[in-house]
Amino acid sequence: MSETKSVANTTSTTDQVKSLTITAIGIALVYVFTWLINIRLPFAPNGGLIHLGNVPLFIFAIIFGKKAGAIAGGVGMGLFDLFSGWTLWAPFTLVIVGCMGFVMGWITEKKQGYGWYVVAMAAACVIKIAGYYAAEGIICGNWVTPATSIPGNLLQIGVAAVIVLIVIVPLKKAANKLL
**pLDDT tens by residue, 10-36:** 668 999 999 999 999 999 999 999 999
Tens of pLDDT, residue by residue over 91-134, are: 999 999 999 999 999 999 999 999 999 999 999 999 999 999 99
Instruction: Evaluate if residue 58 carries a pLDDT over 60.
Output: yes
**CA proximity to 97, closest of 69, 122, 120:** 69
pLDDT exceeds cutoff 50 at 146: yes
Spelled out in words, what is the top-level CATH class assigned to the domain 22-178?
A: mainly alpha
pLDDT in tens, 63-75: 999 999 999 999 9
- Mean pLDDT computed over 134-159: 92
> Contact 98/131 with Cβ under 8 angstroms?
no
pTM: 0.90
- Which residues, other chains included, contact 65 with Cβ-Cβ below 8 Å and sequence gap of 6+? 105, 108, 109
